[in-house]
Amino acid sequence: MPYKLVCFDIDGTLIDNVTSAWQLFHDHFRIDPQKRARARDDFYAGKITYCEWAEHDVALWIAQGATRERMIQAVTSLCVMKGALTAIGRLREKGIMLAVISGSVDLIPHALIPDFSDTFADVFINRLHFDSKGKLTGVEVTDFDIDGKAEALKRIAEREGIALGECVFVGDHTNDIKALKEAGLGIAFDPKDESLDQAADVVIREKDISLILPYILNS
Ligand SMILES: [Mg+2]
């Protein structure tokens, strides 16, 4: 078994019923689509950084009076991906290190995946901050979304003395492409864009993430 580290995306990969956590909360707080489109366009045009984009969008939620409780309400429409707990459990049993490299927000996996903090050795994600009354106050932005996902993978591998060829990355969307290419085994799971087909070594279209196990454990 050549693989020692398995890194997962969150939205659409370990968590079902969500393409983007950001869109989920924008919908929940009824954010003006034009305001968010402007910030997204500015980011992709290189006018603002990812951090500025994330802070801008979180400020829109704060302006709507976002609280932890209301955000958890939004998360109740999501669920853990079919087969995710089986996959995580089996990989742990085999002593494989697990990590999350995500552009989601931390509230989501913490609310939905049992023992989330203990299960994953590394978690790269956007972290929301709340005050003592549960009001959303800001965000600690990940530096490792989109192309940064590959950088996070390299950092973990280097620190642990694991070759990139011994690493697996599992993701569903275009922000996972660089990491899928970098990992020894790139698995596109329920891919949302055909560009993932070229980037990945394996494509799984059936929505059951335990189907990754034979590729990792039987190779
Ligand atoms: Mg995703």
Q: What is the DSSP letter of 81?
A: P
Q: At what angle do helices 21-28 and 68-75 cross, to 10 degrees?
A: 110
What b/e sequence results for 108-123 when a residue is b if at least 16 CB atoms lie within 10 Å of its CB, and e otherwise?
Answer: bbbbbbeebeebbebb
Neighbouring residues of the ion ligand 1, judged by CB less than 5 Å: 9, 11-12, 172-173
Kindly list the domain boundaries of the chain, sorted by start residue: 5-17+79-217, 21-75
Ligand 1 centre distance from Cα of residue 142 (Å): 15
Q: How many angstroms separate the Cα of 216 from the Cα of each of 93, 117, 172?
A: 13, 23, 17
The DSSP call for residue 135 is B
pLDDT of residue 1: 65
Q: CB-side exposure of 128: number of CA atoms within 13 Å?
A: 28
Q: Say how many Å lie between the CA of residue 90 and the centre of ligand 1.
A: 22
109 CA to middle of ligand 1, Å? Answer: 13
Ligand 1 midpoint to CA 95 (Å): 25
pLDDT at residue 219, as a whole number: 74
Please, are residues 198 and 34 in contact by the beta-carbon 8 Å criterion? Answer: no
Distance from residue 188's CA to the centre of ligand 1 (Å): 10
Between the CA of 194 and the centroid of ligand 1 the distance, in Å, is 14
Residue 185 and residue 215 in contact, taking contact as beta carbons nearer than 8 Å = yes
Report yes or no: 31 and 64 within 8 Å, Cβ to Cβ.
yes
**Interval between CA 86 and ligand 1 midpoint (Å):** 19
CA 162 to ligand 1 center in whole angstroms: 24
Instruction: Please give the distance, rounded to the nearest whole angstrom, from the Cα atom of residue 116 to the centre of ligand 1.
Output: 17
Tens of each residue's pLDDT in the chain, 219 residues? 689 999 999 999 999 999 899 999 999 999 999 999 999 999 999 999 999 999 999 999 999 999 999 999 999 999 999 999 999 999 999 999 999 999 999 999 999 999 999 999 999 999 999 999 999 999 999 999 898 999 999 999 999 999 999 999 999 999 999 999 999 999 999 999 999 999 999 999 999 999 999 999 997
> What's the Rg (C-alpha) of the chain?
17
Q: What is the pLDDT of residue 198?
A: 93
Residues 76, 11 contacting (CB under 8 angstroms): no
Per-residue pLDDT at 147: 87
**Measured distance CA(159)–CA(85) in Å, rounded:** 26
Looking at CATH, the fold of the domain delimited by 5-17+79-217 is given as Rossmann fold (3.40.50)
